[in-house]
Amino acid sequence: MDSGSEPVTVAIDGPAGSGKSSVSKEVARRLGYGYLDTGAAYRALAWHVLEHGADTSDAVAVLEASGDFEYAISLDPDEYWVRVGARDVTDAIREPRISEAVSGVARVPVVRETVNGIFRGLVADSGRPGVIVEGRDITTVVAPDAPVRILLTAAPEVRAARRSAELTSHDAAAVAAALHKRDASDSKVVDFLTAAPGVTVVDSTDLDFTQTVDAVLDVVRAGTGDQR
């Protein structure tokens, strides 16, 4: 990246099971960009709050426990890790108890403001030509002025099937129910199911993984002129 130039931000939103993470990682690899999983920050904070023995549904308790929250994440799509202080929590934040707790943490306005500032700082200091930033309100709140803003979605039954395939040890019906519950809970905080003005929709319902990656790359290249 040229000295003094700002990294390109590619903002990708979408519901659970839409393929945001896997697609975003592959697009980042293809372009030589960084990859930022914003959901990991809320998961890490939920883990941190639970470690303090606090109730993640209690906004005051969340704020008190988050006072000493030290967060770090890799932007390398091939060397992904998440840390809270000196603890590697990459695997721990994917545990079911965290998935159940994360919405309570994410709905606290002060927490979202603070975490959004962390995201912007990570992009600015990435040292990469660009960063694929994926999450729930990236196109509207975190990076509303990004040159590329995408809503990646798919039909609910397709998203549930994909998530179930990822979690082979879990019952398919339970996975579908959990996904629906997560969407319903998170949608009270931010609308990630409807594209805001200027946001390009990529519907992967009838696309396989490679086709979805290519579709997103087409949008990025059109928006940035980056033909890598």
CATH number, domain containing residue 172: 3.40.50.300
Contacts of 69 (CB under 8 A, 6+ apart): 44, 45, 48, 84
14 is in an annotated binding site: yes
21 is in an annotated binding site: yes
CA–CA dist 119, 50 (Å, integer): 22
Is residue 227 domain-resident?
A: no
CA–CA dist 125, 74 (Å, integer): 12
25 is in an annotated binding site: no
Dump pLDDT digits (tens) for 24-44: 999 999 999 999 999 999 999
Is residue 1 domain-resident?
A: no
Q: What is the pLDDT of residue 194?
A: 74
15 is in an annotated binding site: yes
Q: What is the pLDDT of residue 5?
A: 77
Exposure of 117 by Cβ count < 10 A (0-12 exposed, 13-18 middle, 19+ buried)? exposed
The amino acid at 68: D
Give 201 or 182, the one with higher predicted confidence: 201
174 is in an annotated binding site: no
74 is in an annotated binding site: no
Is residue 94 domain-resident?
A: yes
First to last CA, the chain: 14
Residue 31's closest CA among 203, 219, 202, 211? 219
Q: What is the pLDDT of residue 37?
A: 95
Q: Are strands 200-203 and 148-153 parallel, antiparallel or unpaired?
A: parallel
Q: What is the pLDDT of residue 3?
A: 46
Give 82's Cβ-side CA count (13 Å radius). 20
Is residue 228 domain-resident?
A: no
Contacts of 211 (CB under 8 A, 6+ apart): 204
Is residue 183 domain-resident?
A: yes
User: Do residues 148 and 11 lie in contact, with contact meaning Cβ atoms separated by under 8 Å?
Assistant: yes
Its domain, for residue 124, covers 8-221
How many domains does the chain contain in total? Answer: 1
Exposure of 62 by Cβ count < 10 A (0-12 exposed, 13-18 middle, 19+ buried)? buried
Give 189 or 213, the one with higher predicted confidence: 213
CA–CA dist 122, 25 (Å, integer): 16
Q: Which residues pair with 13 in a beta bridge?
A: 135, 151
- Decide if pLDDT at 189 tops 70: no
* Residue linked to tokens 């993470």: 21
Confidence of residue 192 (pLDDT cuts 50, 70, 90): low
Dump pLDDT digits (tens) for 118-154: 999 999 999 999 999 999 889 999 999 999 999 999 9
User: Do residues 180 and 156 lie in contact, with contact meaning Cβ atoms separated by under 8 Å?
Assistant: yes
CA–CA dist 174, 96 (Å, integer): 12
4 is in an annotated binding site: no
User: Do residues 153 and 18 lie in contact, with contact meaning Cβ atoms separated by under 8 Å?
Assistant: yes
- Decide if pLDDT at 155 tops 70: yes
20 is in an annotated binding site: yes
